[in-house]
Amino acid sequence: METSPVTCHTLEEFYHIDGHTFEKQYKETLSGFRDWEQLCHAEKWILFPANIGPHLAIDESSLSNGELYTFVTNRDRHTRAESLVAAVAGTKSEDVIQVLKHIGEKAREAVEEVTLDLSDSMRRIVTIAFPKARRVIDRFHIQKLACDAVQEIRIAHRWDALQESNDGMEECKHAGKPYTPFRFPNGDTRPELLARSRYLLFKSAEKWTEKQKERAEILFKEYPDIQMAYGLAHSLRMIFAKNTIKDAARLSMARWYNKVDESRIKSFNVIAATFYEHYDDILNFYNNRASNAAAESFNAKIKLFRANAKGVADRKCFLFRLAKIYGYPH
């Protein structure tokens, strides 16, 4: 329990003990929780200055009931012991900066690179707390924006198709006729076509199955705007996958901007404007091809631990367990 996210409920299953009683004994006597040096402020923040390194990640995660915490982790520790640098309640930049300033200025200035998402608050935290660090926007957040834009167009068409279908059923009902929906050659009705196309739009065309290829052909013929949006999302994905030099990526991104401008798709114009605001931070990906995978991995471990514990009843104790596993040396 000291070095892995094992819960008392899990031990109950394997060792036939009373998990509830053991949980109390562990918390009050065995663990040292009551003597923890960070107990008095643990619900607001915990900090491990010794765990700071040249490559950090910052992200937010929910502990319970949607209550967000900002986590700063050391990417080089790969979400193992001594990987947690700080956990601060909330996402307010001023609060996080105040906590991080407990770390010595020299140590903070030694940070070379921080990966983050497109959040303005995260950007401000990194700029002030780690003034000499290079900011790197996680490419997967960027690609997700483009995928969401494609899905937004598909969903809008689906609502229209459902309304059209409902209107057709209503007309047939008043006319006393049976309703027979139109079906495409693959057997899909129009609402079904749009609903069943969701997952293929997340994938590259070369990864489609034969049925997905058939469905995509029909979809793109019926909805050219979805095809155009899919092409823009795919070409953005390829910019990150194929380019290895920042200057080449800069040129590819400029061409992509031109395509977006020509498409006149509103959601992609918004994405392009967002990229413009974070242009240098996005292109910094090509220095080391760094991503926020370490932070996402840490978030996934928190969620799994929370699920195994059947929720977070005591937030301080939960953070103490996280600190024992990821904050202190084993």
User: Which stretch of 102-116, 185-199, 221-235, 270-284 has the lowest confidence by average pLDDT?
Assistant: 270-284
Mean pLDDT of 308-314: 76
- The pLDDT value recorded for residue 11 is 62
User: Which stretch of 40-54, 114-128, 146-160, 268-282 has the lowest confidence by average pLDDT?
Assistant: 268-282
The mean predicted confidence, pLDDT, of the chain is 89
- The pLDDT value recorded for residue 108 is 97
Global pTM reads 0.84
Best CA proximity match to 274, nearest among 153, 130, 148 = 148
Put the strands of the sheet holding 67-74 in their side by side order.
45-47, 84-89, 67-74, 55-64, 113-116, 134-137
pLDDT in tens, 219-241: 999 999 999 999 999 999 998 88
Does 66 have pLDDT greater than 80?
no
Helix, strand or coil for residue 59? strand
Mean pLDDT of 119-145: 94
Q: Where are the domains of the chain?
A: 8-138+291-327, 139-287
- The pLDDT value recorded for residue 22 is 60
**Rounded distance between C-alpha atoms, residue 317 and residue 34, angstroms:** 9
| Range 8-138+291-327 classified under CATH 3.30.70 | no
Residue 111's pLDDT band (cuts 50, 70, 90): very high
pLDDT in tens, 73-95: 999 999 999 999 999 999 999 99
pLDDT higher at 11 or 235: 235
Please state at what angle helix 293-308 crosses helix 315-322, rounded to 10 degrees: 130
- The pLDDT value recorded for residue 308 is 75
- The pLDDT value recorded for residue 15 is 61
**Residue for token pair 């935290």:** 125
Residue 242's pLDDT band (cuts 50, 70, 90): confident
Residue 122's pLDDT band (cuts 50, 70, 90): very high
- The pLDDT value recorded for residue 132 is 96
**Torsion sign (Cα): 44, 46, 49, 51:** negative
- The pLDDT value recorded for residue 165 is 93
- The pLDDT value recorded for residue 244 is 75
Does 63 have pLDDT greater than 90?
no
- The pLDDT value recorded for residue 98 is 97
Strands 45-47 and 84-89: antiparallel
